[in-house]
Amino acid sequence: MSEGDAKRIPTGVADFDSIIRGGLPTGSVVLLLGDVGGGGLEFALTSTAKIGIVKEFPETRAFMLGDAGKSGKLPERMCYITFSRSKDDILQEVKMSFNRDFYESLSHNLLFKDFSKDYFVHTVVPTAWLDADGEGVFSDKKKDGLMESLVDFLDNNAPKSLVVIDSLTDLVVSETVNFQDVIALLKGIQRMSKKWGSVFYVLLTDNILDRKRQQMIIDSVDGVFKFEWAKFHHTSKRQRYLYVEKFMSVLPHLDQERIARFATLITSQSGFVVINTERVG
């Protein structure tokens, strides 16, 4: 394994990893910006599920991660952070959408942290409706707010991890969370991810914010993967596409190959898949 390979964490999307030299550099904060149903969440779930399978069953590595991803570095742990959805809700959705191996992998290998109690504390939602977990060292610190609790959790669990934040949309639409605090948090995560050697996937719905605020978020992360639907002319057929909008360590490889975008598909058996690479010129 070369030094370069050792510092990249595979995305689990084999055809994508083959073009970006094996995966994402450790220390990367990646915004998964997308249309509703565009594939951002499925990308994150596919990545964590496949890495989880490989961690449990190392002999599946070449099959799960492909030739490009089989020599990369695997995270020591994987964390899944939610603000408004329960662990059971997410796992049930995975169970109905993907194969059993994905479901088992995510059940066994993801450290879920549900901040619903902190998120809904100043809303009309009664605590009886919430089943946020009681796990974690800081879960009983009633004096801390949502953002402080989140920082505490990251400080203790993010080092050498793959972290999914589902989703930033919940934070930016909340009237109890200051937008400038969200930006400060992102900049802090971007700074610490280099020390932690972690990769973050941060989900955000496209166009939920005005252009200025969305750009402020984009400026606070290392990379932006955009997931969108495109309609074909004179037909109701639609196609999902993945664009790399920003990523200093990834774009040169795409430019060299003259790659404009990736046509993608989501299947129950393989999760998020690149089915075609569209080149310019």
Domain spans of the chain, in order of start: 3-279
- Answer for the pair 176, 148: CB distance below 8 angstroms, yes or no: no
Q: Give the whole-number percent of the chain exceeding pLDDT 90.
A: 75
pLDDT tens, residue by residue, 138-170: 344 444 689 999 999 999 999 999 999 999 999
Identity of the amino acid at 43: F
Q: What is the mean pLDDT of residues 245-272?
A: 93
Residue 119 CA to residue 163 CA, distance in Å, equals 19
Residue 118 CA to residue 259 CA, distance in Å, equals 43
What residues contact 210, with CB distance under 8 A and at least 6 apart? none
pLDDT given for residue 133 in this prediction: 54
44, exposed or middle or buried, with CB in 10 Å at 0-12, 13-18, 19+?
buried
Q: Which CATH class is domain 3-279?
A: alpha beta
Structure tokens at 124: 């009309």
pLDDT given for residue 150 in this prediction: 96
More confident residue, 257 or 80: 80
- φ, ψ at 196 (rounded to 5°): -75, -25
Token pair 């914010």 in the structure block, residue: 209
pTM over 0.85: yes
Extract the runs of DSSP E, i.e. beta strands, from 190-269: 199-205, 223-231, 238-247, 259-267
pLDDT tens, residue by residue, 6-26: 589 999 999 999 999 899 999
Q: Cα-atom radius of gyration of the chain, to the nearest Å?
A: 18
Tell which residue, 54, 53, 106, has the closest CA to residue 82.
Answer: 106
Residue 270 CA to residue 264 CA, distance in Å, equals 12
Residue 79 CA to residue 158 CA, distance in Å, equals 7
